[in-house]
Homo-oligomer: A and B are copies of this chain.
Amino acid sequence: MTFEAQKLDPRVRRTRQMLFQAFQSLLAEKTFDLITVLDISERSTLNRATFYDHFPDKFALLESMIGERFGALVAARMAQGDGTCETALRLLILAACDFLAEISSGCQKNQRQFEPMVESQVKEGMREALILALHNHGTENPELKATMVSWAITGAALQWSRERKTSADQLADAILPTTLKVVHP
């Protein structure tokens, strides 16, 4: 769903791409709340009104960008799995860790507005992947379990990304047993 190559007017694809790029480069310099829509439009050489043709505000831009990127990462990683629940969970944990680590290293300290958005997109992307995996295994109450597991993993990965005292694999080793038990009681 929501494929990028969705037979979209090339102008639209180009404009969105330019907005993403401009935003990305600004994030390397300033924190999110210091970036204005004017900044983004200037950096992208687009008109400010054009920005509003595509996104209601800068929050939506962030949300869309993060969601798209994490969704792509999850899709790529999950393709490497062998279909078992255990490897699927491990792949998801590692994907979350890598993504959050990259985010927090690529941008300087981001604040109140930024992190919650990243969190919610990570949770959402992981939850979707989980629901697919759980439906195949006939788990009961898959939506609720998917929610709990995706939230728990996201929380753990976020805490890990802040501390960075161990490797991502070690975190996966540490939390995989408990998350598995939630899925297969």
Contacts and interface: CB of A to CB of B under 8 A. Distances in A.
Which residue, A144, A153, A175, has most C-beta atoms of chain B within 10 A?
A144
Contact of A156 (B117, B144, B155): B144
Number of copies: 2
A148 B93 CA distance: 13
Interface string A111-135: 0110011011001000000000000
Contacts of A119: 116, 120
Which residue, A120, A148, A156, A185, has most C-beta atoms of chain B within 10 A?
A148
Given A59-B112, A181-B181, A144 B123 contact: no
A113 B60 CA distance: 11
Interface residues of A, number: 31
Contacts of A116: 116-117, 119-120
